[in-house]
Structure 1
Amino acid sequence: MKVEYFIGIIIPKDYLIRIEKFQNKWIKQLGVEPHITLKAQGGLTSDERWIEKVRTVCKHFKPFQVSLGKPKYFGDNILYLSVKSNDLVNLHQEMLQKLAPPKHIITQYFEGDEYVPHLTLGTEYVSRDFTEGLSKVDLKEMEKLANEILVPFPNFEVNSIRIYKLNIEKNIYEKHLDISLSD
């Protein structure tokens, strides 16, 4: 059985609760808590030796500021909140350098030069049964309401990253490990 992981940035608890309530209007079971994607699954293997490399990157990376922003789309079927932070992009690049996944994996997961920091709100299609999927009409409604309900979009300091692991029985990603950034 394949074990899956990914790395994300946790958002402040009050805003996390706000986004979960917002998403629950359309999605019955969220596949993972709201987060900013830092590193996708590619190259994060079940032997977990890569975690020490992640710790090394984090040990040498100072806390930084992130700004969430207006909703945008990947194509026309994935709605997300935009994220602004040059330091976040730099952290992503350093993770990629240290973990060194094969080029085809970087391409497959839109990492490296294709990386777009984001916080997914909803998707049109069904993904691993985490969601029932949303229609394009649902996504448009979600986009409109996000601009009303989720403002003001917060700025916050990132002090740690979170490694998520797929819980196969529940079919959701759960917290596996938090790693602090250098102070």
Structure 2
Amino acid sequence: MKKTFSALAGSALVAGALVLVPASASAAPYCGIVWGSLQKTQQVMSTAPVVNVRSGQHNCFDRVVVDIKGPVAGYHVRYVDVVRQDGSGHAVPLRGGAAIQVIVMSPAYDSYGNATYSPANRNEIVNVNNYQTFRQVAYAGSFEGQTTFGVGVRARLPFRVFTLDGPAEYSRVVVDVAHYWQ
């Protein structure tokens, strides 16, 4: 009788453990986001200039958009310890617990060297007050055909990057940063 009771109790414990493991393993990711936080790169150079930067808030992520007047450009987007200004290498101070360096493979000047993008305040190029993830978006300059931005975020969180053609002759590089991990 004791052996039967012990065997039943042991089976119940094993069964209980088996029930708990699949439940936690099948938890859905936050908002279906499965992006990760490693570098994203697309190698496409463009001579079409950067003309604007804007941002937006969504239910699951914050977004920054770089507008380009012409064909879509490539990008290198990654978390870094310090975002550096193009050309000089000076540090760009950013608020938040983590920093994302966004390099768009397109200049912020025309073929004559005239600026096509010149924010009023390089340290606050878009207003991200009250955003859930973004703390600051700064302009780090444009040099040798590429333009760099720094995005201060509250923590290292998953992000995605993609490009869009249009409307008209414009294209965009879009960076979304999730509000949370799972």
Structure with a larger share of its residues in helix = 1
Normalized per residue, which structure has more strand? 2
TM-score computed with the length of structure 1 as normaliser: 0.30
Q: Which protein is bigger by CA-based radius of gyration?
A: 2
